[in-house]
Structure 1
Amino acid sequence: MSSYSRLLYIHQNELYHNAHKRVSEDIQAVYKRNKIAVGLPKGVKSRYAISGLPNSYAVIGMMWGDEGKGRIVDNLLEKLLTNPGIKNAYVVRFQGGSNAGHTVYKDRHKIPLHQLPSGILHSRSVNIMDSAMVIHMEDLQTEIIDAEAIVGDLQERLVLSEDAMLSTDLERAEEVFLREKTLGKSKGGTGRGMSQTVAHYIDRQGFIVADLFEKNWKARFSKKYDTYKRDFAAWDHDLATTDVPDFRQTRKQKKPLTRKVGTKKEFLERLHNVRNWFLKRDSKLSKKQRLIQNTFPIHHQIEDFLVSRKASVVFEGAQAVGLHFRLGRRPDVTSTDTTMTGIKDSTAYYTREMIGDGIGVFKATYDSSVGQVKPMTIINLPKDDLLLKVKQKIGDTWKNWNDEDYWREIKKLKSLSVEQKYAAWIREVAKEKGTTTGRYREICYLDLAAMRFNAKMSEVTMLAVTHLDIARKDHAIRVCTHYTDSKGRNSPYQPGQKRQKGLKPHYVDLPGFDGRQVQKAKRFDELPENAKKFLAFIQRQVGLPITIVSTGPNREDVVFISSFLS
């Protein structure tokens, strides 16, 4: 058993360098000799089982975002809250902002989340938006109103750090302005003013949430508007007529919409209204019950509850390691720390050793990506809806299509290769559109070389798989195992377009399986044989145990593997 533990943990770094030497061996072991080892075996403790606080976990995106982290947080919370003695749970969003998008479901109602933590579905959870988040108060107000219409009152279950970085329409206008000023060189953002807000926090020119609730708030924000107006005018730009994302109307109309920053009076009026809404919300609550408060004392309390095993905590990451500002692929990077290191910075409380297992989330049978950079394993597809003419011809009946209906129509597209048709099918049945942007995502082959690097840098200790049901029995699953340079030498993954230039991805084709049978599985042994083997191969190649598998689109479609959480 100790050798298996070494394979899972100590050997993970060796796999980062030498996994290419094991590809044939791993295929033979899994697919020929039926060595199906998935999960954390009994008797093997995780690396942080001793040092970490009981019932503490982090959920981190392993690839390029949109992996299904919110879903895993939701499933993990539900599992934790069944443990004897645990009375409540905490979910701590430690980074990101309105540029991030998680989707969870309540009674078949889709709830797209941006700034709100994914634990809001659980009545016994307290959800914290901590200090390293970038908060746009109007967007947050809209999210709270929409969420409460589905999940009920969130008072006393939602906390916003008064030290969180405050984003306004001024920072969003600045992002638009920089794109024009640099002739398009300032790319990679979502228009939500994330990098500008973080940059001004660092240069001490920005505001935090608490500043909006000071007595002199109007004078300070008025001065800031004047500064922006003057800077814009110097470049012959008019601040008032600059278009910025309108989150509220985008939600109502279900398509991207913008609004003008407006005059100083209009800008301050919007801030005044949202400020009053939050003040009124907190007016009848005690200091410890308010939405906006100092989160540091709460973490003291959480630690006490964890030590006494009366509570659990899940630290929820947004975006992914592949979008980290230093570890990602510029310009498609975010501005806050997407690894487990970000938890320490955001909470000013927890070190890595205090947290139990970090769970890295990835899509099982493919990757997806949105942005300027073309991933190494991309399957090139047109950006538009390839079935638009068919959908327009038959009306809304296409909305009732199942997986096979999509496949039947996509196979008729003569301009696409077999692999492109498969990617187009994935894009449709997996609903691969960004929660925040509404853009079609790029479909890519699963990239194990990148995953090994991201797993190493993020300090996760386990893996969670989503979208295992996005597979076909009649189509192989192509997986990138490693890269080589122009001389045929193995080249471990290194982030950055110039570092990857000229590299060749190497693939293996693994047997497909019936995704519909995956959806029926309630236990690991009920999965199709080739699905179990596929997971076993991934675990051997990455070197971390796969412990959670989502098997379908619904909350209840999940399998916890081996002794995890037992």
Structure 2
Amino acid sequence: MAIVGAQWGDEGKGKVVNYFSDNYEWIVRFSGGANAGHTIYYQNKKYVNHMLPSIKPNSDAKGFLGAGMVLDLDKLVDELNILENDFPGISSRFYIDLETFLVLPWHKEEDEIIESMRRNPIGTTKRGIGPAYTDKVSREGIKLYYLFDEKLLEDRLENIYYLKQNYYGNKLKSTKEEVFNYLINARRKLEKLNVNYASAIEMGKVFRSTSVLFEGAQGVLLDLDFGTYPFVTSSSCMAHGVSSVGFSTFELDNVYGVLKAYTTRVGEGPFPTEIFGDEAEVLRQKGGEYGATTGRPRRIGWLDLPALRYAKIRSGLTGLVITKADVLNGIEKIKVCTKYSIKEEIKDIPSSSYDFFVAKPIYEELDGWSDTNDINFLKFISFIEEKTEIDIDYISYGPKTEEMCTKNSLILNINK
């Protein structure tokens, strides 16, 4: 099964993955890097993973970091050390694909330099993600396996540094010697933690003989190919990204899209249902809507069904999980965008990502609910299902992993 964000990220995928992880032997991250923040709560303690798959510490599940990611080795080591303090030996349950590309210190410098040079900044997290993927595509990157051949690594860094000096001159502070030492030290730290290395070729038979949960990063509307370009991330945010682990989407039994009961977005870019002022601030405070990676306040909007239909088609969603339903508790009237007006044409589904830039939302208003056991909340769920023709199978009503229920459980509680 794959779990992906059905909006602009920050939908609560980490908690949802954690909830389902009991039923899977492998949890696999297939895209993104340290720009993704997946928050989980375990034994009343909060853990924010930027690199690691959201495995449950008390389970037997193992984690795999796939070649579609870009690894920030500092962040990876930090996250492993945090988990090791509470769960000694857990690092040995993580495997990393040797083909994975690395985020290097100068990528973070480039991220800041380029963002500062833009007339209209795109809202990057400055974690070096875009420059790392750029180097991957332009064949100037470093793969993980280079760290195990120091001569090959030195030669590679020499060539890359020569090119970057021609690009940036003295703007880059990191030297090739510093980057080399950084990488070797990171390798030694990972070896000390007993992390495993493998490739998707070696793991293919293992994955296909057991159960695998693929954990996506960000959301479909931030996908490099089909999101609101250029205000997107630099990788695949859709289920199709499982191809980087050697899988086809045809091998997936289910693709769950995670959505909030409202909509949020971090950074720049179009946001058709955005709201402002006190109305937005109330939801921001109630929902704790601040980026897990950057701490930036998230932009707030009403639920956007045309965008959800777009995500359904783009990523082949077979079911939905709705989160933060409790944040809307006590609001008298709830708005839901059901259609877009695009240059005087009414559309149920955007034809392309361009439509998000010019869309004007058309709303319907629903009665609010006191809590998620209220009949009006069930009507809200049914309204979404009817308008999108996709079932909401699970409901999250709080931040803890166990604060999830099936729609059938919800119905039974309401009937009581």
The normalised TM-score by structure 2 is: 0.92
Q: CA deviation at 1:264?
A: 4.1
Q: Does 1:300 align with 2:205?
A: yes
- Select the structure with the greater relative contact order (CA < 8 A; seq sep ≥ 6): 1
Conserved 8 A contact 1:462-1:547? yes
Q: Quote the Cα distance in structure 1 between the aligned partners of 2:118 and 2:283.
A: 35
Partner of 1:60: 4
2:291 maps to 1:434: yes
Q: 2:182 aligns with which of 258, 270, 280?
A: 270
1:193 matched to 2:92: no
Deviations 1:271-329 (A, max 9, x none): 232122123344xxxxxxx5222232222112123xxxxxx221100001000112111
Structure 2 residue 235 is the aligned partner of structure 1 residue 336: yes
In structure 2, C-alpha distance between the alignment counterparts of 1:547 and 1:314, rounded to whole Å:
17
The answer for the alignment partner of 2:171 in structure 1 is: 238
Spell out the pairing of 1:10-25 with structure 2 (5 A cutoff): none
Residue 371 of structure 1 pairs with residue 267 of structure 2: yes
SS in 1 for 2:4: strand
Contact 1:222/1:268 (CA < 8 Å) preserved in 2?
no
Residue 303 to residue 336, structure 1, CA distance change in 2 (3 Å): same
Paired position in structure 1 for 2:412: none
Whichever residue aligns with residue 278 of structure 1, its letter is L
1:84 corresponds in structure 2 to none
Task: Give the partner amino acid of 1:455.
Answer: K
Aligned length: 408
Query: What is the DSSP-based 3-state SS (H/G/I as helix, E as strand, rest coil) of the residue aligned with 1:118?
Result: coil
Structure 2 partner of 1:413: none
The answer to whether residue 321 in structure 2 is matched with residue 425 in structure 1 is no
Shift of 1:528: 1.3
Name the CA distance, whole Å, in 2 between partners of 1:550 and 1:183: 39
Contact (CA 8 Å) 1:479, 1:507: kept in 2 or not?
yes
Contact 1:188 1:333 in 2 (8 A): no
Kindly indicate whether the alpha-carbon contact (under 8 Å) linking 1:106 and 1:151 is maintained by their aligned counterparts in 2: no
Letter in 1 for 2:171: D
User: Matches of 1:462 and 1:474 in 2, distance apart?
Assistant: 27
Q: CA separation in 1, counterparts of 2:51 and 2:20?
A: 19
Give the secondary structure class of the aligned counterpart of 1:440: coil
Pairing 1:325–2:194 present? no
Q: 1:157 Cα deviation (Å)?
A: 0.9
Which runs of 5 or more structure 1 residues have no equivalent in the other structure? 1-56, 81-87, 241-260, 283-289, 306-311, 381-419, 519-526
Letter in 1 for 2:313: K
- Contact 2:18–2:40 (Cα < 8 Å) also in 1: yes
Report the CA distance shift for 1:501/1:457 in structure 2 as closer, same or farther (over 3 A).
Answer: closer
- 1:93: Cα distance to partner? 0.5
The whole-number CA distance in structure 1 between the counterparts of 2:252 and 2:348 is: 32
Q: Mapping of 1:123-134 within 5 angstroms?
A: 123-134=59-70
Which amino acid in 1 is paired with 2:13? K
- Structure 2: how far apart are the matches of 1:67 and 1:271? 33
Following superposition, the deviation at residue 371 of structure 1 comes to: 1.4
SS state at 1:317 partner: strand
Instruction: Report the AA paired with residue 549 of structure 1.
Output: I
The separation in 2 between residues aligned to 1:61 and 1:304, in whole angstroms, is 27
For 1:347, which of 223, 236, 245 is the aligned residue? 245
Equivalent residue number for residue 414 of structure 2: none
Which protein shows a greater Rg?
Answer: 1
Pick one of 463, 471, 474 that aligns with 2:320.
463
Deviation, 1:232, is 1.4
Matched-pair contact (CA < 8 Å) for 1:485–1:491:
no
Distance 1:375 1:495, change over 3 A: farther
Map Cα deviations across residues 141-194 of structure 1 (whole Å, 9 max, x no partner).
1111112223432233101111011110122222223234x4445634211222
1:548 to 2:394 alignment: yes
Q: Secondary structure at the match of 2:227?
A: coil
Letter in 1 for 2:144: V
Residue in structure 1 matched with residue 18 of structure 2 by the alignment = 74
Q: Which runs of 4+ in 1 moved over 4 A?
A: none
Task: Give the whole-Å Cα distance in 1 for the aligned partners of 2:31 and 2:397.
Answer: 28
Distance 1:361 1:326 in 2: 20
Report the Cα offset of residue 230 of structure 1. 3.7
Amino acid at match of 1:268: F
- Inter-partner Cα distance in structure 2 for 1:227 and 1:296: 32
- Counterpart of 2:339 in structure 1 is 482
Q: Is the 8 A contact 1:120 1:127 kept in 2?
A: no
Q: Is the 8 A contact 1:120 1:154 kept in 2?
A: no
Matches of 2:385 and 2:191 in 1, distance apart? 50
In structure 2, what is the Cα distance between the partners aligned to 1:124 and 1:317?
Answer: 21
Post-superposition offset of 1:266: 3.4
Q: Report the Cα distance in structure 2 between the residues aligned to 1:113 and 1:122, rounded to whole angstroms.
A: 16
CA contact (8 A) 1:494 1:500 kept: no
CA 1:186 to 1:440, structure 2 compared with 1: closer, same or farther past 3 Å? closer
Structure 2 partner of 1:103? 39
Of the three residues 258, 261, 282, the one matched with 1:361 is 258
Q: Deviations over 1:490-537 (max 9, x none)?
A: 46324445x34553211111111123xx3xxxxxxxx21111111011
Change (3 A) 1:533 1:280: same
| Identical amino acids, percent of aligned pairs | 29
2:35 aligned counterpart, secondary structure = coil
SS in 1 for 2:218: coil
| Secondary structure in 2 matching 1:342 | helix
Instruction: Provide, for residues 515-566 of structure 1, a one-character-per-residue CA deviation record: whole Å limited to 9, x for no partner.
Output: 3xx3xxxxxxxx2111111101111111111111111122211102349xxx
> Is the 1:170–1:225 Cα contact (8 Å) retained in structure 2?
no
The whole-number CA distance in structure 2 between the counterparts of 1:190 and 1:453 is 25
What per-residue deviation string (whole Å, max 9, x for no partner) do you get for residues 211-269 of structure 1?
12213123432443343234311xxx4211xxxxxxxxxxxxxxxxxxxx3x4443333
* 3-state SS of paired residue (1:297): helix
Separation in 1, partners of 2:346, 2:84: 55
* Kept in 2: contact 1:367–1:443 (CA 8 A): yes
- Kindly indicate which of the two structures has a greater share of residues assigned to strand: 2
| Distance verdict in 2 for CA 1:486–1:268, change over 3 Å | closer
RMSD between aligned residues: 2.0
Distance 1:329 1:435 in 2: 21
Q: Give 1:343 shift.
A: 0.4
Worse-matched range after superposition: 144-153 or 366-375? 144-153
Name the aligned partner's letter for residue 356 of structure 1.
D
SS in 2 for 1:196: helix
CA contact (8 A) 2:306 2:348 kept: no
